[in-house]
Amino acid sequence: MMLLRLSTLALSRSRFALSPLAETLGSMMVLGKPCTDPWLASWHARHHGAFRAALEVDPFAEGLVRLLGSTKWLPSHVAIPPPGGMRTTLEDELAQVTRAPDEEVRAELEESVARSWKQHDLDWLTGRGWAARTADLLHYTWEAHVASDWPRRRALLERDVTYRAGLLAAYGWPRALQHMSRRSAWVGEDAIRFSDQAFPDRVVGDEGMLFVPVSVLSSGTWLCEAPPTSYALVYPARGSADGAARTRPARSLERLLGTGRAAILHELEHPATSSEIAAHLSLSLGTVGGHLTILRDADLVVGTRVGRRVVYRRTETGHLLASRGKD
């Protein structure tokens, strides 16, 4: 079992972050193989063919994607803690990717091969400048298959952070980490169980852990490391990369409340801010605010301040109404 050990100071400084690189890496691994998650089917169908065509003309890209999608060890030059917190940019992350020397890249890829559940070789690892070539592949994947959907994905990821930050404020880290993944859990007072694999424990530095949601994962996590003591845990956000998979409220609920208010009450199955609701439903902030006022006056939703944000959730009455109104 592998533990991430945190001092009291590290625990107090742990926080959430966003990573366009992690989102791109996850998307790359999903697009590299047949789709197994129904909620990703529409996005996967739109992008899989073009992505596979790009790999077929580049043996380096083909070999790398195949390896990354079937190993328990992601190379350190692609699994890096996001440097800018919630404002991290892909450009900043790719700049870090390109710095890895070829010797380090090869050593990490050999470790990935050793910890893969499939047979691999590194015959495709030819020439030089492998970190830069990896960055080019990630940049292509971002531009062609992720960037156009990033505003919606970012809203989904920020919503997950809002939800967990609310749990953190109310109950502490053990509750905020609950259900992040099947294997991760709080152990004792100062450690997070990351893996059942026999890896050495890690000691998190005084700057604390980063927790990074990704929208294209349905399960599993990965650890980002920046020696000696900087770590980030990437985990599946509560949602999907495929906006088309979102369901709509029941017609009976729409007839009772109106289409907009019914959509918001339906959306608040998971707590969210007004900005997150507006982004997810493609409504103006003013429209959402007006609907929330009416829903709040009707005792169907309630708002709670978490830091600078007001997070809305259903009341018990609102939850019962939304649940009974399902088709």
Average pLDDT of 48-57?
A: 96
pLDDT score of 326: 56
* pLDDT digits 0-9 by tens, 150-191: 988 998 898 888 888 877 877 888 888 877 777 778 887 789
Would you state the pLDDT for residue 313?
87
Taking only the tens place, the pLDDT of each residue in 19-48 is 999 999 999 999 999 987 777 888 999 999
**Lowest mean pLDDT segment, chosen from 34-43, 127-136, 200-209:** 34-43
For the chain, the farthest-separated pair of C-alpha atoms sits apart, in whole angstroms, at 67
Name the amino acid, one letter, at 43: W
300 against 180, higher pLDDT: 300
Name the pLDDT band for 85 (thresholds 50, 70, 90).
very high
Domains of the chain, start order: 2-236 (no CATH), 247-324 (1.10.10.10)
| DSSP notation for 189-256 | TTEEEEESS-PPPEE--TT--EEEEESS-SS--EEEEETTTEEEEEEE-SS-S-GGG-----HHHHHH
H or E element in which residue 297 lies: helix 285-297
> Between the CA of residue 156 and those of 64, 91, 147, what are the distances in Å?
28, 21, 14
* Residues 192, 184 contacting (CB under 8 angstroms): yes
User: What pLDDT, on the 0 to 100 scale, is given for residue 101?
Assistant: 97
End-to-end CA distance of the chain: 45
Q: Is the pTM of this model over 0.85?
A: no
By C-alpha distance, which of 162, 105, 171, 159 is closest to 132? 105
Q: Could you tell me the pLDDT band of residue 245, with boundaries at 50, 70 and 90?
A: very low
Distance between CA atoms of 241 and 67, rounded to whole angstroms?
22
pLDDT at position 244 = 45
Tokens of 3: 């533990």
Listed residue (146, 144, 55, 138) closest to 96, CA to CA: 138
